[in-house]
Amino acid sequence: MLKKSFIALLMVSGLCLGLFLWLKSLIPQPDQDFSQTQPGELRYLKQKPSQSRGKVLVVVTSSGIMGASGKATGYELTELARPYYVFLANGFGVDIASPQGGQPPVVIDRDDLGPFDYAFLNDPQAQYKVNYSIPIAQASAKDYQAIFFVGGKGTMFDFPNNTSIQVLVRDFYRSGKVIGAVCHGPAALVHVRMETGELLVAGRRISAFTNEEELFLIPDAEQHLPFLLEDRLRAQGAIMQPGPAYLEQVSVDGQLITGQNPWSTWQTVERMVEAMGYTPVPRQVTPAEYTVELLLAYEQGGFAQAAQKLQQLNSDQGTEIDRRLLAMHGVVAAMRWELGKTLDLLRLLRRSKK
């Protein structure tokens, strides 16, 4: 009996190893090193309008510990770096603020970084602004055209009850200025009340990090976070507009523009530029964005529609799929025991290999 169990274990291990090696063969190793990218190398920034359009205030968390868990947290680098350059490219100056001021804690996932993110890390001016961030209590809405709240789990601890943030948001809203937030950034909005006593988010269409996304990554999140963001927004009367997990979803409700997760960052900020009355300057779509388009096609129409979308992407000059991201979604589906979806995504992954 023991011998049979041992043989079965070896067979299962062999199958898992074979699947891993096959999956690895479909995911190319990065052939470009972006770690030395300089801001001057971003052609996107060369389109910057000659005349300034004013300034945008970008707000990051000062909280570096995730509650009683003791786990490190902070703001998400990608959710700061990409908006920073989108605003600059579209003619806006950028100031960076945080609840405490000074150098805020940052979360850096090297696997997610692209040219914009490394350029931000190598940009002396950007680094000065973030390392010497303005204390939020010293910021005034009259100096800015818009305010944008960067995500990161730290925001759950120091955004919701910060009275300076609440005053700023109320002043921006009352002045008809644009308010944006992405991922956990909408935590800044949950307790904001207008002069009438009405909650800002009540009856407003909102996208933010969902319970599904939160609890998949951290099953015991309710023990470590003050609240689940989706639950609190719903309780405050927000009309939540969740999209598929870990894919792009943006809600626009007048001057209030919110994105669900990191993959919604580009569109959230470009919608803010539109809300300020400008057409966003052209930007080369990233491989991750093309992959998100493909995955959204799958969510909307199954394998057939996704395969058609992939064929179109493969035939278009200059498009590139992030096969690592596609594989990650396949792994997530497998972890959820969505075996049909797992197989479909693996088929798409195989077809995407040019």
Question: In this predicted model, what pLDDT tens digit does every residue of 207-234 receive, in sequence order?
Answer: 999 999 999 999 999 999 999 999 999 9
Q: Report whether 281 contacts 199 (CB < 8 A).
A: no
The two three-digit tokens of residue 33, written as one number = 């090193």
Q: Report whether 79 contacts 185 (CB < 8 A).
A: yes
Q: Which CATH class name applies to 42-275?
A: alpha beta
Give me the mean pLDDT over the 78-98 stretch: 98
Domain ranges of the chain: 42-275, 285-354
DSSP state string for 8-77: HHHHHHHHHHHHHHHHHHHSPPP----TT--GGG-GGGGG--SS---EEEEE-----EEGGGTEE--EEH
The span from the CA of 231 to the CA of 278, in Å, is 34
Under 8 Å CB-to-CB from 300, ≥6 apart: which residues?
none
Question: Could you give phi then psi for residue 58, rounded to 5 degrees?
Answer: -110, 130
For position 27, what pLDDT does the model report? 57
Structure confidence at residue 32 as a pLDDT band (50, 70, 90): confident
Q: Is 147 helix (H, G, I), strand (E, B) or coil?
A: strand
For position 11, what pLDDT does the model report? 46
Structure confidence at residue 18 as a pLDDT band (50, 70, 90): very low
